[in-house]
Amino acid sequence: MTLAAMELIDVKRSIGNKEIIKGLSFSIYKGEVFGFIGPNGAGKTTTIRMMVGLMKLTDGDIHILGNSIKTNYKKAVREVGAIVENPEMYPFMSGWQNLMHYARMIPGVTKDRINEVINLVGLEKPIHDKVGKYSLGMRQRLGIAQALLHKPSVLILDEPTNGLDPAGIREIRQYIRKLAKEEDVAIIISSHLLSEIEQMCDRIGVIKNGELISIQDVGEQASVDNLTKIQVEVTPLEKAKNLLKEHYDIETIVMDNGLSFQGEKEKIPAIIKTFVENDCSIYQVSVTKGTLEDQFFELIGENTIE
Amino acid sequence: MSRMLKLIYNEQLKIYIRKSTWAMYIILGVIIIGLAVMTNSFGELGEQYQGDDWQEVLQQENKELQKEGEEDEFVGSLNASIIEENNYYLDNNIQPTPYGAWQFLRENMLLLSVVSLLTIIIAAGIVANEFRWGTIKLLLIRPISRSGILLSKYISVLLFALFTSIFVFLFSFIIGAVFFGVEGMNPSIVSNEASGYTTISLIPTIFSEYGYSMVNLVMMTTFAFMISTVFRNSALAIGTAIFLMMAGNSIVGFFQDKEWAKYILFANTDLSQYADGRTPWIEGMTLGFSITMLIIYYVVFILLSWLFFTKRDVAGQ
Ligand SMILES: Nc1ncnc2c1ncn2[C@@H]1O[C@H](COP(=O)(O)OP(=O)(O)OP(=O)(O)O)[C@@H](O)[C@H]1O
Ligand SMILES: [Mg+2]
């Protein structure tokens, strides 16, 4: 197994006596786009603040290319580029001056490199305008440019799609995929909107109330069988419902004129047979594949902020 | 080292790129020109003593002052000191120096309190503003220690104080020269010192007076910087620092008879109280004591700034 670009080891964080992050452990690898999903207040931003050294860990450790953020801060953070929450820049300076400002803080960032990232995020035209005049989307792009200046191994983007129009989101999606593939960067993207980042991620980690409740490969989700949603138009409803409960231990939801439940596709013929044998009339059977979005809501349940 | 220079460059850039900073310099410039115009119109420029008959002019003046003084007791006491000064010129056969750029410069030392005010505003904002703008996050996630960032900011504030003082110094001299001419390369003037009227050399006096007032400038700047880092609030830092700067002397005066009054910062910031022939504010104070107190205050300010800046989390506002 290759060295993880970033590894979280049982990361905990309390504020006062409230535990906000309750032991996160996961790794992100080079060339991978990792989606960090959770409802408001789940602890995404807090985790990201700890990843970049803005907040201290109460317990656990974070390694970036093997360097601990606690004991080897400078080396660890050299490999990180990030935007944390809103992409705030100096409003009285131009985009170019802002980038120069950050470039001076890290050795080896050339003017060519600055122009390169400006091209990448498509800010050539307004780069010499004052940032105070930028739209949110333009600032978001400048934020990403700033994070890429020093060719980091790990790119952390906290809600980068916030404030972008659909075209902007598609563009970001494209260059994030490109960065991961061509430059082998490990990318962490947080969002509370799964649909926005689903398509650009290789893996999705779901966080709720400071706990990681699931990590899933995006490619694999199609074969997750229990997510196949089966709807059967059948009468009498009550009888059919009880049959499913008795024979297959499946809970069903009674709909207008049918039953809806989740189950494996392979079981459908057997279920139909059971219905027929017990004198139930079947009018229609339909199967819909659950999207990741359904899965997400299933995982996080009601969106209650503790 | 070159990294630190780049950090300082960044901080200087963020100070001087803003229009509000330039407004400060323009205000200072306008004040200096205004003072020159006022001195030119209403001031005592000493032109009447520049002829060969300066001794007669002085004697004539003394006679008039004497006569005026006999009519009114209060005017008399005022005039007595002018007569005394005039007599000093006559007795020692010194022709009064005309008013010029050096004397204008000396009087403008008062403007250093305006420089203090402006530096306090810069010091108060240099850390707190990064928090207010939200840019602190992007500033701190670089491979540079927080101590390094803080140091670059502190040095930048001191540089601002230095540049602004130099501006006041040079601009006053230039404006003084334009309005009044220069008295010479090493002018001396007659001044009423503790030991009576004496001749003093002007340039060394100017430098030592400007030097003494730097102590207060540095201490108040460091104080504002400390409040700015600890509370992350520039308005609070400006408010407290300016209040203390204005009220400092009154505070000492108010507690003067208390045992601990000499431990108050402002009892120690004016080191010129130990200059030749002067008595310190509070009995028993010495130069060594004051310097020790200043160092203690300074170290406490710096230490608090450093502790709060390096140890505290940067979480949401
Ligand atoms: N300084 C603080 N003091 C106390 N509690 C805090 C502090 N900062 C964050 N929290 C709490 O930590 C939890 C996680 O907050 P965080 O900002 O990490 O959420 P998030 O997942 O980024 O949410 P969002 O989607 O809204 O950005 C919240 O419950 C919040 O109330
Ligand atoms: Mg957040």
Residue B241 inside a domain? The answer is yes
Residue B37 inside a domain? The answer is no
Write the residue with the smallest CA distance to atom 14 of ligand 1.
A43
Select from A77, A88, A106 the Cβ nearest to the Cβ of B135: A88
> DSSP letters of chain A?
-PPPSEEEEEEEEEETTEEEEEEEEEEE-TT-EEEEE--TTSSHHHHHHHHTTSS--SEEEEEETTEETTTSHHHHHHTEEEE-SS----TTSBHHHHHHHHHTTSTT--HHHHHHHHHHHT-TGGGGSBGGG--HHHHHHHHHHHHHTT--SEEEEESTTTT--HHHHHHHHHHHHHHHHHH--EEEEEES-HHHHGGG-SEEEEEETTEEEEEEETGGGGG-GGGEEEEEEEESHHHHHHHHHHHH----EE-SSSEEEE--GGGHHHHHHHHHHTT-EEEEEEEEEPPHHHHHHHHH-S----
- What's the complex ipTM? 0.83
- pLDDT digit string (tens) for A13-28? 998 889 999 999 999 9
Query: Which CATH class for the A228-289 domain?
Result: alpha beta
Mean of pLDDT values over A162-172:
81
Residue A305, pLDDT above cutoff 60: no
- pLDDT, residue A295, reads 63
**Contact assignment for A75 to B144 by CB distance below 8 Å:** no
Atom number, ligand 1, closest to the C-alpha of residue A16: 4
- pLDDT, residue A290, reads 62
Mean of pLDDT values over A67-95:
92
**Residue A198 distance to chain B (closest CA, Å):** 27
- pLDDT digit string (tens) for B261-317? 888 888 888 888 887 767 777 777 888 899 999 999 999 999 999 999 998 888 765
Q: Which residues lie closer than 8 Å to B265 by C-beta, 6 or more apart?
A: B219, B248, B293, B294, B297
Chain A residues within an 8 Å CB radius of B19: 92
* Interface membership of B314 toward A (CB under 8 Å): yes
Query: pLDDT tens, position by position, for chain B (317 residues)?
Result: 588 999 999 999 999 999 999 999 999 999 999 998 988 887 677 666 776 777 777 777 777 777 777 777 777 777 777 777 777 777 777 777 778 888 888 888 889 889 999 999 999 999 999 999 999 999 999 999 999 999 999 999 999 999 999 999 999 999 988 988 887 777 777 777 666 777 778 888 888 888 888 898 999 899 999 999 998 888 888 998 889 888 887 888 888 888 888 888 888 888 888 877 677 777 778 888 999 999 999 999 999 999 999 988 887 65
Pocket test for ligand 1, best of A13, A37, A44, A211 (most atoms within 8 A of CB): A44
Residue B156 inside a domain? The answer is yes
**Contact assignment for A104 to B142 by CB distance below 8 Å:** no
- pLDDT, residue A230, reads 83
Mean of pLDDT values over A155-167:
85
- pLDDT, residue B205, reads 83
Instruction: Report the separation in Å between the CA atom of B316 and the middle of ligand 2, taken as the mean of its atom positions.
Output: 10
Topology (CATH level 3) of domain A6-218: Rossmann fold (3.40.50)
For residue A158, which ligand has an atom nearest its CA? 2
A29 and A182 Cβ atoms separated by less than 8 Å: no
Residue B49 inside a domain? The answer is no
Owning domain of residue B299: 3-15+97-311
Residue B150 inside a domain? The answer is yes
In terms of CA atoms, which chain A residue is nearest residue B3?
A105
- A residues 165-194 near B, CB within 8 Å? none
In terms of CA atoms, which chain B residue is nearest residue A94?
B17
* Interface membership of B135 toward A (CB under 8 Å): yes
- pLDDT, residue A28, reads 94
- pLDDT digit string (tens) for B21-31? 999 999 999 99
Stretch(es) of chain A classified as CATH 3.40.50.300: 6-218
Stretch(es) of chain A classified as CATH 3.30.70.1150: 228-289
Considering its fold, how many domains does chain B have in total?
1
Mean of pLDDT values over A77-88:
91
Write the residue with the smallest CA distance to atom 18 of ligand 1.
A43
Task: Give the Cα separation of A64 and A73 in Å (integer).
Answer: 9
* Interface membership of A140 toward B (CB under 8 Å): no
- pLDDT, residue B24, reads 93
- pLDDT, residue B58, reads 75
* Interface membership of A305 toward B (CB under 8 Å): no
* Interface membership of A56 toward B (CB under 8 Å): yes
**Contact assignment for B314 to A74 by CB distance below 8 Å:** no
Chain B residues within an 8 Å CB radius of A92: 17-19
Instruction: Report the separation in Å between the CA atom of A163 and the middle of ligand 2, taken as the mean of its atom positions.
Output: 14
B73 and B49 Cβ atoms separated by less than 8 Å: no
**Contact assignment for A49 to B9 by CB distance below 8 Å:** no
